[in-house]
Structure 1
Amino acid sequence: MDTGVVEGGLNVTLTIRLLMHGKEVGSIIGKKGESVKKMREESGARINISEGNCPERIITLAGPTTAIFKAFSMIIEKLEEDISSSMTNSTATSKPPVTLRIVVPASQCGSLIGKGGCKIKEIRESTGAQVQVAGDMLPNSTERAITIAGTPQSIIECVKQICVVMLEVSPPKGVTIPYRPKPSGSPVIFAGGQAYAVQGQHAIPQPDVSEGHSLTKLHQLAMQQSPFPIAPSNQGFQAGLDASAQTGSHELTIPNDLIGCIIGRQGAKINEIRQMSGAQIKIANPVEGSSDRQVTITGSPASISLAEYLINARLSSEATGLAAN
């Protein structure tokens, strides 16, 4: 079987992750799943759609490049059809472009943008598509969204070029934490072993803390130790979310031989944890005669809780031999 066209270096197995709104996903799935079934059969690509009840869903396309781009063009055609049918009852004269978001590891975005934005400019000019790389990472992940708009053909060409750049670059650095859309689209805070979703100014208890995380005993113990004030919903929840209010600090003791997996190569891992949690994290210098290092986390209770969770996730993955340094 042909494993893909050798087109600009694309002759390998690929995975593309698309971030879509629930309504668009519904259209791609089709009645009783007929539409997505047809796409799977005709393209030969594996098409996986993340769980429902979310404002956003992730569609993962995997397989040889020929299959991927066949599935990808079928998805774009469907979105184009939806735009056309919505135009029939509209008074608008110009047709809006097809807009699509793909999700990529943040560590690969630099190569995609290029020095002074030269690479992204080249992609825009050669494909005619509008391309925008998000400045911030998606919540609780190390991925960024890239928004592409234009004609179906320009979008397909643009994604091909993005894939070539990402295949030429070395693999993503460190462990990639994939973006998982939350049912409420809201941050989750852990307190006393219970997870709470933050919606507006309220904390809503979540029945299942393990969704997408597989919380180990280590994580749960850390959560139980993190004091987090949950205000009655009518009083609001702003204090816990406002980084300037209620700043506190929390100390952890980490064995010397494990501190490296928290810091990462040239501090990459600790910086990632700082960025994702919004907390300040200071690692004390080694103390003579001690086999442990003191780590101080400062910030709002929400950011301390998240930083602690991420540190413990690193420690437990290191303990099971999964962490990449």
Structure 2
Amino acid sequence: MEPTKVQSEGGLNVTLTIRLLMHGKKGETVKKMREESGARINISEGNCPERIVTITGPTDTIFKAFAMIAYKFEEDIINSMSNSPATSKPPVTLRLVVPASQCGSLIGKGGSKIKEMRESTGAQVQVAGDMLPNSTERAVTISGTPEAIIQCVRQICVVMLESPPKGATIPYRPKPTSTPVIFSGGQAYTIQGQYAIPHPDQLTKLHQLAMQQTPFTPLGQTTPAFPGLDASPPASTHELTIPNDLIGCIIGRQGTKINEIRQMSGAQIKIANAMEGSSERQITITGTPANISLAQYLINIKVTSE
């Protein structure tokens, strides 16, 4: 695929975010890449061996940043080989982190899209079968020459622009400890089983301390043997009204989105039937205050993204 095709589709003025998994040190290189590419580049903090590099900007700045990263990796490979007898140069490998809901489009029907990418760019592309721990993202590994990688990233960007992620994405966060914490809407949640459970501030602070000190049993795992007997706050009910024309984006096709919200929030959600002459629908959310606030948050995301 010719790079010009991407430009003619207006791909170059669209802002896109690409996430990349890296090992190792940051600092000067990143500063230089920011200045030269014009993209926003952020690196996750933390004492984890893995770092997430987030590159955001118009697609042409993303390609520049990727070109710089790919050439930098190649340079590192060449430098590390200067004292080894090996003559063939190993390929450069980058790992992207992509929402699982977009991976189907990257692979294509029966693998057609990924095959076409491999053939037209000469890069190796692999999409991991499993999601990364505690997230709804998958790793996409690209390896080849820097030139092949840049071409391949271009094509992946086009696919990601054409099929945006569906539903809420739980981002992968590399963690040195065992209880993941998700921050959303200023509130922290831990994942227990398939539910996101709001995390009181004290726990978050303890957790942050724990991250800096020796590992210990995360507090989240001291759940009582009889779930009914724990001191959970009593269930309460909250009502929302939503305009009729927005109700579809909350329910989703055959109820997929509303089920996702129920599952992530742990709340019960009932949507009233349309009332004659009314332009709004009533939504009743039942659960602990924490479940309700998470359900509201997820509903708001759906509405604001429309």
Q: TM-score range by the shorter chain?
A: 0.5 to 0.7
Which secondary structure does the structure 1 equivalent of 2:7 belong to? coil
TM, length-normalised to structure 2: 0.65
- 8 Å CA contact retained: 1:262, 1:315: no
Q: Tell me, in whole angstroms, the C-alpha distance in 2 between the residues paired with 1:262 and 1:195.
A: 35
Q: Tell me, in whole angstroms, the C-alpha distance in 1 between the residues paired with 2:241 and 2:134.
A: 23
Partner of 2:161: 167
Correspondence 1:184-199 to 2 at 5 A: 184=177, 186-188=179-181, 189=190, 193=200
Task: Report the Cα offset of residue 276 of structure 1.
Answer: 7.2
Which secondary structure does the structure 1 equivalent of 2:56 belong to? strand
Q: Which of residues 16, 29, 42 is equivalent to 2:36?
A: 42
Partner of 2:15: 14
1:15 counterpart letter in structure 2: L
Partner of 1:315: 296
Partner of 2:140: 146
Mark the CA change 1:316 to 1:163 in structure 2 (over 3 Å): closer, same or farther: closer
Q: Tell me, in whole angstroms, the C-alpha distance in 2 between the residues paired with 1:206 and 1:311.
A: 24
1:265 counterpart letter in structure 2: G
Which secondary structure does the structure 1 equivalent of 2:12 belong to? coil
Task: Report the Cα offset of residue 322 of structure 1.
Answer: 6.3
1:20 counterpart letter in structure 2: L
- How many residues align? The count is 265
Q: Is there any run of 5+ residues in structure 1 with no aligned partner, and where?
A: 198-203, 210-232, 296-304
Q: Tell me, in whole angstroms, the C-alpha distance in 1 between the residues paired with 2:173 and 2:295.
A: 18
1:182 counterpart letter in structure 2: K
Per-residue deviation, residues 53-80 of structure 1 (Å, max 9, x unmatched): 2222222222233322112101111111
Mark the CA change 1:96 to 1:256 in structure 2 (over 3 Å): closer, same or farther: same
Mark the CA change 1:273 to 1:182 in structure 2 (over 3 Å): closer, same or farther: farther
- 8 Å CA contact retained: 2:59, 2:157: no
- 8 Å CA contact retained: 1:98, 1:151: yes
Q: Which of residues 68, 73, 78 is equivalent to 1:79?
A: 73
Q: Which of residues 175, 178, 181 is equivalent to 2:174?
A: 181
Task: Report the Cα offset of residue 126 of structure 1.
Answer: 1.2
Partner of 1:200: none
Q: Tell me, in whole angstroms, the C-alpha distance in 2 between the residues paired with 1:282 and 1:312.
A: 12
Which secondary structure does the structure 1 equivalent of 2:130 belong to? coil
CA RMSD of aligned residues (A): 4.5
Q: Which of residues 56, 65, 68 is equivalent to 2:59?
A: 65
1:7 counterpart letter in structure 2: Q
- 8 Å CA contact retained: 2:105, 2:159: yes
TM, length-normalised to structure 1: 0.62
